[in-house]
Structure formats: C-alpha cells, structure tokens
Amino acid sequence: MYSRKSNLVSLLLCIFFGYLGIHRFYVGKVGTGLLMLFTAGLGGVWVIVDIIIIILGKFRDKEGYELKF
C-alpha cells in the first residue's frame, strides 16, 4: 500500500524548507519535524540524508507507507 502523500511534494519541501523539517510535518512525523526545526536539520546533514532517501523512494509516512510518485 502507498501513502496518500506525494514523493515529489516531499522532495520539493525538503529541498526548499528541509532545515525547518516541513517535509516531515507533511508526512505526519511531527516529532522528528520539531527536532529538525530546533536543530536546523542538524546543520544540514539530516536534510541531505532525507533528500537522498526521498529520491531513492524509501521515505515513508507516519504509518510506514511508502509515498506515491
């Protein structure tokens, strides 16, 4: 099963607002979204890792479903 959230939207949010964790709020991961918000994406490292995971299609929503393309 796939999530109702879009992989492309998550990628764009991560690229432009990744240091704020907006892409994590989008998929329902509020806890890690807040952590990214308060640490600025761990200095950008976490943002780069998330971009790679989203591009590979392995990013999941809060329920664990893969995002749709």
Q: Which amino acid is at 13?
A: L
Instruction: Give the model's pLDDT for residue 41.
Output: 87
**40 SS3 class:** helix
- 12 half-sphere exposure, CB direction, 13 A CA radius: 6
Taking the model in full, what pTM does it have? 0.90
**6 SS3 class:** strand
Instruction: Give the model's pLDDT for residue 42.
Output: 87
As a whole number of angstroms, the distance between CA 65 and CA 52 comes to: 18
DSSP codes joined into one string, 7-38: HHHHHHHHHHHGGGTHHHHHTT-HHHHHHHHH
Q: What is the pLDDT of residues 11-34, one digit of tens each?
A: 999 999 999 999 999 999 999 999
